[in-house]
């Protein structure tokens, strides 16, 4: 395969990050886009100079494709991914993998059974600050991790929810601030700590929104088998998207991540800082929100590099599955108002 033939399903907010990345990659060709809103599909197809579909099964039946990007509401990630995989095509889906852990597991096991590539977007892992922190933790410069905390205080208005036909619902979004916004920060914190989870103890509630079913606040602790306790506090009823924060207290220093910036202060006086390079830009188009960062293209390029040349994805699907399990355990803890241990969760599956 010289050129990978690609289609994107879902032409909403996140579509440009995928479409422009595919257009930019010399080894991929955007053959078609699909959205069940015909005017949206047509508009995007004209913009990207490709074919347009309103029914993804019809598109899969008619087109010769190699890979599909899933940019759909959360409840559609699992069924569409599994349908696509069973046709032998590779899948790159937006976060979260799915709403339910069992569905996410099925997505991955189907990809393994059909020997196809499967990736889940967590583009913030490519942020310069996150890369610095991960590298220094992996090299052992900081010694062991003692504890950690994360905070996400963002703004998702009633209008944000009322404009969407799926956000704010348990059945279609699968939750609120946790599964949609804070998932990125909690994924980073879990990746930094890099240990198996022992239990979560959390609360979820809706405190600031009138019309949504799902939580707009979640807080709790994540206890890792390494002994590390990590606290988190996430809300989306703040008045702006404040930079997310992670702090990690280590044996030999302190790590802070504020927004995209990573800062490592070693107790011997050495300081390391990495931030987004302002010269590193990529235009995903007019009106595309800057807080999604520039890193979709990096993860998408890595996906196609692995597809064409072999090797392992930078962000392995098993990692996305672990984050999915963590998020689902937090929901379970919040809904059942009790500590959820991972051993018990698995033995009940």
Ligand X SMILES: NC(=O)c1ccc[n+]([C@@H]2O[C@H](COP(=O)([O-])OP(=O)(O)OC[C@H]3O[C@@H](n4cnc5c(N)ncnc54)[C@H](O)[C@@H]3O)[C@@H](O)[C@H]2O)c1
Please report, as ranges, the residues that interact with ligand X according to CB under 6 A: 9-14, 34-37, 40, 56, 71-74, 76, 94-95, 121, 123, 164, 180, 292
Q: How far is the CB of 160 from ligand X (least distance, A)?
A: 10
- Closer residue to ligand X (CB): 57 or 344: 57
The DSSP code for 2 is: -
Q: How far is the CB of 328 from ligand X (least distance, A)?
A: 15
Nearer to ligand X, 276 or 339 (CB): 276
- Smallest gap from residue 343 Cβ to ligand X (A): 30
User: In this structure, is the dihedral angle defined by the CA atoms of residues 296, 298, 303 and 307, taken in order, positive or negative?
Assistant: positive
Residue with smaller CB distance to ligand X, 36 or 245: 36
Point out the residue whose Cβ comes nearest to ligand X. 12
Structure token pair of residue 238: 């703040």
Q: Smallest gap, in angstroms, from Cβ of residue 141 to ligand X?
A: 29
Maximum distance among all alpha carbons in the chain?
63
Question: Please, which residue, 78 or 228, has the CB nearer to ligand X?
Answer: 78
Nearer to ligand X, 76 or 148 (CB): 76
Q: How far is the CB of 270 from ligand X (least distance, A)?
A: 33
> Between the CA of residue 281 and those of 97, 243, 252, what are the distances in Å?
27, 19, 34
Tell me phi and psi for residue 273, to 5 degrees. -135, 140
Sorted by sequence, the CB contacts under 8 Å of residue 180 that are 6+ apart come out as: 74, 96, 167, 173
The candidate with the shortest Cα–Cα distance to 77, out of 134, 120, 115, 46, is 120
């Amino acid at each position: 395969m010289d050129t990978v033939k690609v289609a994107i399903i879902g032409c909403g907010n996140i579509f440009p990050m995928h479409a422009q990345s595919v257009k930019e990659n010399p080894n991929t060709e955007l053959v078609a886009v699909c959205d069940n809103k015909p005017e949206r599909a047509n508009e995007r197809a004209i913009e990207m100079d490709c074919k347009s579909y309103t029914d993804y099964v019809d598109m899969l039946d008619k087109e010769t494709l190699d890979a599909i990007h899933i940019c759909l509401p959360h409840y559609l990630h699992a069924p569409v991914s599994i349908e696509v995989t069973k046709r032998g095509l590779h899948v790159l889906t937006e976060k979260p993998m799915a709403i339910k852990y069992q569905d996410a597991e099925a997505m991955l096991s189907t990809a393994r059974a059909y020997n196809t590539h499967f990736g889940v977007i967590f583009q913030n892992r490519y942020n310069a600050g996150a890369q610095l922190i991960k590298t220094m933790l992996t090299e052992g410069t900081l010694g062991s991790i003692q504890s950690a905390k994360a905070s996400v205080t963002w703004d998702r208005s009633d209008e944000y929810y009322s404009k969407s036909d799926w956000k704010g619902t348990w059945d279609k979004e699968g939750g609120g601030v946790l599964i949609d916004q804070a998932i990125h920060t909690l994924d980073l914190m879990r990746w930094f700590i890099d240990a198996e989870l022992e239990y979560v103890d959390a609360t979820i509630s809706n405190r600031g929104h009138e019309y949504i079913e799902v939580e707009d606040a979640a807080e709790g602790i994540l206890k890792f088998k390494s002994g590390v306790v990590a606290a988190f506090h996430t809300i989306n009823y703040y008045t702006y998207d404040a930079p997310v924060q992670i702090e990690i207290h280590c044996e030999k220093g302190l790590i802070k991540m504020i927004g995209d910036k990573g800062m490592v202060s070693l107790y011997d006086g050495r300081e390391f800082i990495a931030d987004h390079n302002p010269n590193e830009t990529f235009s995903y188009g007019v009106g595309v929100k800057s807080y999604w960062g520039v890193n979709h293209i990096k993860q998408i390029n890595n996906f196609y590099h692995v597809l064409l040349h072999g090797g392992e994805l930078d962000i392995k699907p098993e990692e996305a599955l672990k984050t999915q399990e963590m998020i689902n355990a937090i929901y379970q803890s919040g809904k059942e108002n009790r500590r959820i241990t991972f051993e018990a969760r698995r033995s009940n599956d």
